[in-house]
């Protein structure tokens, strides 16, 4: 973001301005309003370009764009957490994980504003979307890759774009869960060696040795057991991401039933199948033995 037009201030300047204004907000600026210089709201509000005259399409488009912004925010937090764990910094990793879980709550709430949409409402503009589908969101794919959900073929739609190079790089970097597993090994947990040397572009498959490690970790409920705190923070992220998948499924079911998806999939069935791939799988399987 270009913030060159934003002039930094300090507490003394703010107090002096309040005194000059008798407590009222400043109403005169030389050129650009400082808020817009930072947020770029005037640019954001030019990006809602609907394809039909249907008033409901605006809701669909704006919510889609809001979700894209949340995907980027969640990616940012998960990358921060992953980098901390790679450096054996468990405690600092908890804050971005907590933020990611809260951002997922905000993301999930966006579905609620589309609950008015019936199949008839969607059909009024759906054909104009062509083959456009949320399945083609590069930023959502980045989030999935960070969470450990990896399918090499899913980057193919982006060939010839800058997103393709970014997704290829993301696919070949360890996921957040890969870094968690490496962290457990460094902390003395007996894990299968092949877990630490596998091709990270392939999706991780749940392994009993990782589940056993979490069982041992959770046996110590003390406040200094940062690995247990990490486990709970990761569980919250996985749980909220599961909510996202379910709400997505319900939104599709509500607006189009079992019709074919716009992007060529079988729609509802495809989403149901994707929900069977758990995020951080051993955090769930270990709970049977806890």
CA dihedral 173, 175, 178, 180 (to 10 degrees): 130
Interatomic CA distance for residues 134 and 110, integer angstroms: 14
- Name the nearest CA neighbour of 202 among 149, 271, 281, 140: 149
- Name the nearest CA neighbour of 150 among 98, 205, 100, 93: 205
- Is 248 known as a binding-site position? yes
- Is 7 known as a binding-site position? no
Interatomic CA distance for residues 285 and 212, integer angstroms: 9
Residue 193 per-residue DSSP state: G
Retrieve residue 2's tokens. Answer: 């270009």
Residues tagged in the binding site annotation for heme: 248
Residues tagged in the binding site annotation: 126, 248
Residues tagged in the binding site annotation for substrate: 126
């Amino acid at each position: 973001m270009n913030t060159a037009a934003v002039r930094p201030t300090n507490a003394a300047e703010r107090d002096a301005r309040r005194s000059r204004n008798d407590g009222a907000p400043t109403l005169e600026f030389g050129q650009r309003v400082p808020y817009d210089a930072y947020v770029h709201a005037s640019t954001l509000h030019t990006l809602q370009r609907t394809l039909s005259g249907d008033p409901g399409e605006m809701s669909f488009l704006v919510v889609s764009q809001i979700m894209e912004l949340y995907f980027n925010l969640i990616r940012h937090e998960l990358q921060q957490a992953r980098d901390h764990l790679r450096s054996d910094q468990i405690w600092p990793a908890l804050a971005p994980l907590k933020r990611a879980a809260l951002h997922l709550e905000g993301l999930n709430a966006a579905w609620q504003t589309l609950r008015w949409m019936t199949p008839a409402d969607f059909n009024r503009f759906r054909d104009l979307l062509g083959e456009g589908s949320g399945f083609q969101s590069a930023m959502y794919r980045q989030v999935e890759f960070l969470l450990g959900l990896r399918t090499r073929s899913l980057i193919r739609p982006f060939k010839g774009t800058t997103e393709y190079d970014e997704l290829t790089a993301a696919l070949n970097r360890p996921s957040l869960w890969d870094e968690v597993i490496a962290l457990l090994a460094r902390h003395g947990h007996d894990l299968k060696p092949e877990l630490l040397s596998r091709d990270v572009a392939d999706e991780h498959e749940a392994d009993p040795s990782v589940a056993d490690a979490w069982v041992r970790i959770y046996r110590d409920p003390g406040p200094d057991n940062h690995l247990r705190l990490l486990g709970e923070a990761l569980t919250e992220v996985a749980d909220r991401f599961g909510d996202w998948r379910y709400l997505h499924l319900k939104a599709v079911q509500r607006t189009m039933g079992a019709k074919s998806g716009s992007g060529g999939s079988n729609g509802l069935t495809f989403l149901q199948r994707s929900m069977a791939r758990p995020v951080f799988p051993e955090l769930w399987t270990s709970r049977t033995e806890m």
